[in-house]
Structure 1
Amino acid sequence: MVNAKALWESLERNYKTEDAGSKKFVVGKFLDFKMVDSKTVISQVQEFQLILHDIHAEGMVLGESFQVAALIEKLPPTRKDFKNYLKHKRKEMKLENLIVRLRIEEDNRQSEKKAGNYHQEAKANVVEQVLAVAGVGGVSDLLRITK
């Protein structure tokens, strides 16, 4: 008769190789994760937290300061200014505090959009005015004035 410990060790030997594969898969998900502008930041933060949970479930440990830095790095391109602001803070931040700040930033952006006050990049348009100037010998030259 086989005891429970021998059975457990047999199962562990047979299926332990899958464990390394699943760790690699979860790490790949973490490294490939990028936030996009088409979804809300908060919903993407929740996806990020699920990946962190999967990493923890696989027995891997990531320090909280690493998690905070990684989340800041993965913010979408439209949050560049906020991202730089967070990177230059000298005081260490907890993941929970970062999520609260992101939620506040998201709410502020949504209220600005509703009010029509959201910031757009300034785009300069060049206006050219063409003037005909009488040249030598009756030939007219064109003079461009850029404003």
Structure 2
Amino acid sequence: MLFYFITLNLANVLRETILTADGEDIFSAAIDAWNHNDFLCKNYILKALDYSLYDIYVMCKTTKELWESLEKKYKIEDVGSKKFVDGKFLDYKMVYSKSIVFENEDLQKIIHDIHVEGMVINESFQVVSFIEKLPSSWNEFKNYLKHKRKEMTLDDLIVRLRIEKNDRKNEKGLVSSMEAKENVVEGSSSKQRPKF
């Protein structure tokens, strides 16, 4: 809405109070223009509100009063959303059933939301947090990462996690194919030849 008012060159109405004149024609024209702009802005805002909120905010006399009351209400909710995003990051736990790549993407989205809220998280803290949130099946790799002397970036960590995931997938494929071959060999030696 603010951007819309700026493009219409009406944003001054959001911060200014009503002008008063001492009867001069110049001031009278400026007051009429300000009142017209105030009327437009107030009704643009009211039109954008949900129907259930219209009756509450229609009582505001000026655009400034309306804008400030909306700002006051929704800025309080912004503080709550910051706490919600922080809590979401701190409580996040990776699970075995979900791919490690998708888990990292989820964490990156949460980090992005934290940045959008205007909060900053040091990259080395992000890396350590990602490592600590790895599922228990990754404990050996987690210990390996913790003992690395060279500091990693978040991108480096994600590359290493993808490589490890692919290695684990390849190992599973080799093990399952070897088991299948063993079953075939065992099955063929236990068969008896039919007698004719």
Same fold (TM over 0.5): yes
Q: Which residues of structure 2 form unaligned runs of 5+?
A: 1-11, 17-63, 177-196
Give yes or no for the alignment of 1:47 onto 2:57.
Answer: no
Q: Give the structure 2 partner of residue 4 of structure 1.
A: 14
**Paired positions, count:** 117
- Using the aligned pairs only, state the percent identity: 59
Cα deviation, 1:7-55, whole Å, max 9, x if unaligned, reads 4544322321101100111111101101111111001000000100111
Alignment of 1:86-97 (within 5 A): 86-97=145-156
Q: TM-score, normalised by structure 2?
A: 0.56
Alignment of 1:1-147 (within 5 A): 3-5=13-15, 7=64, 8-116=67-175
Q: Which has the higher contact order (CA 8 A, sep 6+)?
A: 1
Cα deviation, 1:91-120, whole Å, max 9, x if unaligned, reads 110000000000000000001111117xxx
CA RMSD of aligned residues (A): 1.8
**Which residue identity is paired with 1:88?**
H
Q: TM-score, normalised by structure 1?
A: 0.74
Q: Which residues of structure 1 form unaligned runs of 5+?
A: 118-147
**Which residue identity is paired with 1:89?**
K
- Greater share of strand: 1
Q: Which has the larger radius of gyration?
A: 2
Distance 1:15 1:39 in 2: 36
**Which residue identity is paired with 2:168?**
R
Distance 2:74 2:98 in 1: 38
Deviation at 1:5, TM superposition (A): 3.1
